Amino acid sequence: MRQAGRYLPEYREVRSRVTFEELCRSPELCAEVTLQPIDRFGLDAAILFSDILVVFDAIGVPVAFNPAPKVASPVRTASEVDGLRWGRAADHLDYVYQAVRACKRALAGRVPLIGFCGAPMTTASYMIEGGGSREFEHTKAMAFTEPALFGRMLERITTLLVEYLAGQVAAGADALQIFESWGAAFAPDDYRIHVLPHLRRLVDECKPLGVPIILFVRGNASLLAQAAELDADVVGVDWSIGMADAIEVVGPRRVVQGNLDPLTLLGPPELVTAKAEAIVAAGRRARAHIFNLGHGISRHTDPAMVQHLVDVVHGA
């Protein structure tokens, strides 16, 4: 969950030389920043350095990072959707597969490498809104007024994402994480109608790739229950629900991942210790538990506090 990034001085050093876009397109530099938190903290898995929005490259949608992503020409109408470069789109993402290979070489078996993508709706929302959003009004307007067009767009994105994840696994990714960061944009019933079928297909079509699939759905307990209906190996839990309650929702037979509020790391070490230990204790009621933050790490985090957290979890 954003292991690398602007809170690390060694990442900022790399970023002082190249833009974020250049970094994502440079396999050797991706490997370097992917390994930074592994070398520094002794984490148990690495997550590929990239972004969920690089797939826009494949279909010909320019995106700028400042650092918040911005899509200058949003995609909202039938002609805008149908005019994108959908055919064999994942072939254009070879630089990501090269980055996976570079990471695997650099890791040399030390820890597994997690590849990833955005979930279909989260990915589409950045294209439809033109960037991040609070209300997701264009996305929801499209789903409610032109459900067939919205469905076609998500269907095509899902096909692209399946090919993209298959490419990451072929290049050596040991596990896959799917990020549904904005699921809570939709009311639960609407999510089930307009969004869940595509997410289900993504998970189902990635199962034969033979690597564990982690499905992170940020939002609410109702969405967590829908996520648990799918066939992912691990359900990622955000910090807005207690881990014990989350396990009640997904059931004791699921593997869970999560879920410390990343801003806890801005508090004192005793607080971090107490919160982390409580999450580890709650996680023991699940079939298995992968400790993680409950969302992306803040740029204001002191790396020493991350080290403290890793030590607490390893000692628990």
Residues that bind ligand CP3 (CB under 6 A): 2-6, 15, 20, 47, 49-53, 65, 67-69, 116, 132, 179, 181, 296
Q: How far is the CB of 119 from ligand CP3 (least distance, A)?
A: 9
Catalytic residue among 7, 11, 15, 164: 15
Q: How far is the CB of 175 from ligand CP3 (least distance, A)?
A: 13
Answer yes or no: are the C-beta atoms of 312 and 277 closer than 8 Å.
Answer: yes
Give the Cα separation of 237 and 258 in Å (integer).
Answer: 5
Catalytic residue among 126, 164, 201, 238: 126
First-to-last C-alpha distance (Å) of the chain? 21
Indicate the residue among 131 and 269 with the shorter CB distance to ligand CP3: 131
Q: How far is the CB of 81 from ligand CP3 (least distance, A)?
A: 21
For residue 86, give the 3-state DSSP assignment: coil
Indicate the residue among 97 and 116 with the shorter CB distance to ligand CP3: 116
Q: How far is the CB of 181 from ligand CP3 (least distance, A)?
A: 3
SS (H, E, C) 45-69: CEECCCCHHHHHHHHCCCCEECCCE
Q: How far is the CB of 299 from ligand CP3 (least distance, A)?
A: 6
Indicate the residue among 132 and 252 with the shorter CB distance to ligand CP3: 132
Q: How far is the CB of 20 from ligand CP3 (least distance, A)?
A: 5
- Could you tell me which residues are beta bridge partners of residue 311? none
Active site residue 51: yes
Indicate the residue among 53 and 213 with the shorter CB distance to ligand CP3: 53
Indicate the residue among 12 and 284 with the shorter CB distance to ligand CP3: 12
Active site residue 15: yes
Q: How far is the CB of 177 from ligand CP3 (least distance, A)?
A: 7
Give the Cα separation of 315 and 165 in Å (integer).
Answer: 34
Indicate the residue among 51 and 57 with the shorter CB distance to ligand CP3: 51
Contacts of 162 (CB under 8 A, 6+ apart): 201, 202, 205, 206
Indicate the residue among 6 and 40 with the shorter CB distance to ligand CP3: 6
Catalytic residue among 2, 101, 192, 200: 2
* Amino acid identity at 146: E
Catalytic residue among 7, 11, 25, 51: 51
Buried b (16+ CB within 10 A) or exposed e, 57-90: bbbebebeeeeebebeeebbeeebbeebebeebb
Active site residue 156: no
For residue 195, give Cα distances in angstroms to 122, 226, 237.
Answer: 10, 11, 19
Give the Cα separation of 19 and 225 in Å (integer).
Answer: 39
Strand-strand pairing, 113-118 and 175-180: parallel
Count of all residues that appear for the chain in the document = 316
CB atoms within 10 A of CB 193: 14
| Active site members | 2, 6, 15, 51, 126
